């Protein structure tokens, strides 16, 4: 879901912070409630419709639906799907499924983005270590971010931590600036170090930080449906994502209400 680079919004007044807080609260709560709503035997289409209803209730518009004409209000990726899974009546959730829900939306001209992977009911296929690694690494990465920190150094941290746990990272999916549109500069908050990238995080900007931790693959490839991404070498991928406000100390996690770390 790339588009041309839009300059990064910097929060310069209270009303902008409030705007970001409001939409972040909406996407975070929607993600949490969708995760709780997911049940064995339900289709991903039904789960998505519930998410769409929640967004509408708050007056928010689904970002993928509005911006890209994505065939759903949220992206729901199941098992070997890495990202951008299309909600479908044919995809029925089963016990032990590895599910990722990604919710991004717009409200009053502000945009926010968050996501998380979880296992439905019992962990029948031992996906928990992968889920836990992704959550832990996201937390560690976010704790490292403040004004002046190199984007490449955070990528290095994510990759190093993944390797320590016996996993890989997806190299062609990235976190990004978010605020006045879904994707803003910087659009290259990658899960590994690009030595040539000298860009740094800047105070008072809002960014979506996301991990893409995988069992086998290092690249995401698109299926024929034009949306769904899977790993180039198969296996499983987990993603966790928060929208944060960069400060000169610890970041403010705007999507905290999603409970992905609970």
Binding region for a divalent metal cation: 102, 113, 176, 210, 241
Residue 42 tokens read as 């339900």
**Cβ–Cβ under 8 Å, residues 190 and 184:** no
Known binding residues? 84, 102, 113, 176, 183, 210, 241
Locate all alpha helices (DSSP H) within 72-216, ordered by sequence. Answer: 128-144, 151-164
Residue 226 tokens read as 């034009």
- Identify the bridge partners of residue 43 per DSSP, sorted by sequence position: 92
Known binding residues for substrate? 84, 183
Residue 73 tokens read as 């209000």
CA distance 178 to 67: 13
How far is it between the farthest Cα atoms of the chain? Answer: 49
Q: Is omega for the bond preceding 186 within 30 degrees of 0, making it cis?
A: yes
**Cβ–Cβ under 8 Å, residues 137 and 211:** yes
Question: How many angstroms from the chain centroid is the CA of residue 126?
Answer: 22
User: CB-based burial of residue 262 (10 Å sphere; 0-12 exposed, 13-18 middle, 19+ buried)?
Assistant: exposed
């Amino acid at each position: 879901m790339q588009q041309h680079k839009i300059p990064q919004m910097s929060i310069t007044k209270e009303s902008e912070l409030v705007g970001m807080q409001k939409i972040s609260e909406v996407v975070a709560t929607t993600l949490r409630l969708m995760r709780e709503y997911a049940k064995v035997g339900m289709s991903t289409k039904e789960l998505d419709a519930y998410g769409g209803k929640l967004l509408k209730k708050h007056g928010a518009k689904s970002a993928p639906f509005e911006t890209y004409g994505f065939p759903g209000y949220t992206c729901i990726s199941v098992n070997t799907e890495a990202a951008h899974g299309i909600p479908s009546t044919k995809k029925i959730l089963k016990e032990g499924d590895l599910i990722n829900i990604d919710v991004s939306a717009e409200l009053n001209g502000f945009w926010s983005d968050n996501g998380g992977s979880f296992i439905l009911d019992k962990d029948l296929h031992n996906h928990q270590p992968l889920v836990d690694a992704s959550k832990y690494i996201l937390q560690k990465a976010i704790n490292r971010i403040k004004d002046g920190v190199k984007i490449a150094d955070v990528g290095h941290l994510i990759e190093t931590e993944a390797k320590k746990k016996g996993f890989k990272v997806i190299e062609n999916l990235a976190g990004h600036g978010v605020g006045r549109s879904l994707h803003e500069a910087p659009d290259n908050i990658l899960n590994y170090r690009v030595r040539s990238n000298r860009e740094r995080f800047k105070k008072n900007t809002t960014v979506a930080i996301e991990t893409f931790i995988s069992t086998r693959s290092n690249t995401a490839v698109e299926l024929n449906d034009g949306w769904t991404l899977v790993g180039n070498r198969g296996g499983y991928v987990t993603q966790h994502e928060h929208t944060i406000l960069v400060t000169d100390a610890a970041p403010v996690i705007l999507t905290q209400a999603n409970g992905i770390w609970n």
